[in-house]
Amino acid sequence: MMDNNFNYDSFIRNPPNPIDIENFFLQESLFSTNSLTPPPFNFFNISSFNINSLKMYSQNKIELLNNFLSLKQIYFGGVIDTHLHPKQMHFLAKRHSNYTVFSSNLDTFQHVRSSGGISLFIENSLASYVHTYISHSSRLLSVDLYFKGNALSEAKRLGFHHTICGDFNMHLDQFYPTFFNQPQIASKRIYRLFNFLLSNRYVDFTPVNFSDSLGTFHRADIISRIDYVWLCPLLKLFLLISVIFDIHDTCFSDYNPVVTYYDQSLLHSSVKLAYAHQLKWRPHLETLLQHYHFLNRVLHSIKLLCKYPHTFSSSHDQKWSIHLIRLNSIFSLYKSALPVVPALPSTLSSCQTDHFNKLLDTLSQASKLLRGLHLLKEKEFQDSSIKTHIENRDHNFDTDISSFNNSALSRSCRKIVLNRIFINHPTAPRLLTDPKDISDAVVDHFQNAVPIKSTPSSYISALPDRWRSEYLPLNTISPNIYNSLLSLPSLRE
């Protein structure tokens, strides 16, 4: 909820800087291969991991998996290619006492190289919210939390937070040119899932430590990234960071898990009255902020090349070709806010003649324009939120005075629902489920079982230690100062 005391002048004079590009270190360049970022605080995690069969060394692998889930505090852990039936997986997962496992059936009718098998480990505190789970095939399992229905389009239409994760067996970077330049081919069946995700503004957040030497799949000399965690437009607002967890030394599998960290406020946030109105602003603002972050990371990387030109290598051109696609997409999206759409070089090697200065100036100017656009959209969002909040208060004043008072006093009302009560009587225990019986039992309990102590303490010394320390005078202050304060006011006063 936005602050009602929002100060426009202060906001314009001291605008929030989403990211300070001067605070980056050398190893944080987008062209670096050793960039590591520590996990953030206050998060919950979703991971996806191809375990490469549990038929062999199952006890060792399940023990390592248990350690991984516990160490990384995973809330939703997707495990792919288990090659086990649901009952076998359930038996092995018994040692995961903190998790409930949901597994798909195996494909036993087709002669294929792998029989598949996927499982989803859900932390017990969240597993109770599972309504249904359906095994569509040995490679597709849907687990329904909070809502009915499993179609992505339906989940998006209803505004639910959802994520799609797993082994996609396809390189997203190779699909980008097809998606942007050949839409007819991009819509074909083989690309249908990627095409749907990109067309509907789902986001795949590149792990911060992804590099040529660390990917999600490694076999022999091949290192690639074919495992993804896709976020819906709503869920991406809570994303903090994405990291590849390197388990190569453990011989656990030829896949590395992907761990995504989210702001824990997602699990505890309440739906506000103005939320539906604010949604039309928030996704656009967050998308702009994400693009601004990316542009500043590229800008900082070019600054490092200007400062350390000897670090340039052929790998820079390879990675630039990937970043160039996204940069052109960003400039095309915000071309109305740019006086001229910047023309970027196809290779970084062509910029060596002027030590990357021209490219640096181009990206710096684009960054300033996007920052100005972000400030403008932020102010519009603030105005919209404040206006909506005021309108809701005015409406509540006429229709729901209790809600108006709660809002005006900034207080919230927390409720619990009792749908059953167990009376532990020594000779005749009873389980009450009828609402009237439950209501009568609650009234009887608070009238007879809970004592009421209405007599206040006469002396400070009789108070509990916690309150006595609050009311006793401070030892560092002379008691004489209270004399004038306790004196009766004079006639002149």
pLDDT at residue 269 above 70? no
Q: Which helix (H) or strand (E) holds 385?
A: helix 357-399
- The pLDDT assigned to 38 comes to 45
Express as a percent the part of the chain with pLDDT over 70: 75
Phi and psi, residue 89, nearest 5°: -65, -40
- Taking CA atoms, 27 is separated from 208, 216, 251, 305, in Å, by 11, 21, 28, 12
Strand 119-123 to 74-80 pairing: antiparallel
Q: Is residue 203 within 8 Å of 236, Cβ to Cβ?
A: yes
Structure tokens at 137: 């095939």
| 436 vs 417: which has the higher pLDDT | 436
Beta bridge partners of 133: 143
The 3-state DSSP class for residue 254 equals coil
* Angle at alpha carbon of residue 323, lines to 321 and 327, rounded to 5°: 115
For residues 49 and 66, give the distance between their C-alpha atoms in angstroms, rounded to a whole number. Answer: 13
| Cα Rg, the chain, nearest whole Å | 30
- The residue written with tokens 């102590």 in the block is 453
What CATH architecture applies to the domain 40-269? Answer: 4-Layer Sandwich (3.60)
Identify which of 265-269, 429-433, 462-466 has the greatest average pLDDT: 429-433
- The pLDDT assigned to 451 comes to 63
Whole-number mean pLDDT of the chain? 74
Instruction: Find the length of the chain.
Output: 493
* Band (34; pLDDT cuts 50, 70, 90): very low
CB crowding 461-486: b at 16 or more within 10 Å, else e: eeeeeeeeeeeeeeeeeeeeeeeeee
Q: Is residue 64 within 8 Å of 95, Cβ to Cβ?
A: no
Which of these, 42, 123, 131, lies nearest to 77 by C-alpha position? 123
* Band (450; pLDDT cuts 50, 70, 90): low
In one letter, which amino acid is 174?
Answer: Q
Q: What mean pLDDT do residues 98-119 have?
A: 75
- The pLDDT assigned to 276 comes to 47
pLDDT at residue 50 above 60? yes
For residues 455 and 457, give the distance between their C-alpha atoms in angstroms, rounded to a whole number. Answer: 7
Q: Is residue 211 within 8 Å of 177, Cβ to Cβ?
A: no
For residues 180 and 172, give the distance between their C-alpha atoms in angstroms, rounded to a whole number. Answer: 12
| 80 vs 2: which has the higher pLDDT | 80
pLDDT at residue 35 above 80? no
- Taking CA atoms, 186 is separated from 152, 324, 329, in Å, by 18, 20, 17
Phi and psi, residue 314, nearest 5°: -65, -25
Structure tokens at 187: 């819509």
The DSSP-derived string for 130-160 is EEEEEEEETTEEEEEESSS---HHHHHHTT-
Q: What mean pLDDT do residues 26-33 have?
A: 50
pLDDT at residue 27 above 50? no
State pLDDT tens for residues 142-177: 887 653 444 566 666 666 677 777 777 777 777 777
Structure tokens at 34: 């050793």
Q: Which residues contact 254 (CB under 8 A, 6 or more apart)?
A: 50, 52, 217, 218, 219
The 3-state DSSP class for residue 248 equals helix
Q: Which helix (H) or strand (E) holds 268?
A: helix 265-268
For residues 328 and 181, give the distance between their C-alpha atoms in angstroms, rounded to a whole number. Answer: 13
In one letter, which amino acid is 48?
Answer: S
Please state the domain extents for the chain.
Answer: 40-269, 290-397, 416-451
For residues 40 and 18, give the distance between their C-alpha atoms in angstroms, rounded to a whole number. Answer: 17
Quick one: CA torsion of 108, 110, 111, 112, rounded to 10 degrees? -90
- The residue written with tokens 């375990």 in the block is 51
- The pLDDT assigned to 405 comes to 77
- Taking CA atoms, 284 is separated from 8, 253, 287, in Å, by 21, 39, 5
State pLDDT tens for residues 180-193: 777 777 777 667 77
State pLDDT tens for residues 205-226: 767 667 777 777 777 677 777 7
For residues 178 and 225, give the distance between their C-alpha atoms in angstroms, rounded to a whole number. Answer: 18
For residues 239 and 138, give the distance between their C-alpha atoms in angstroms, rounded to a whole number. Answer: 29
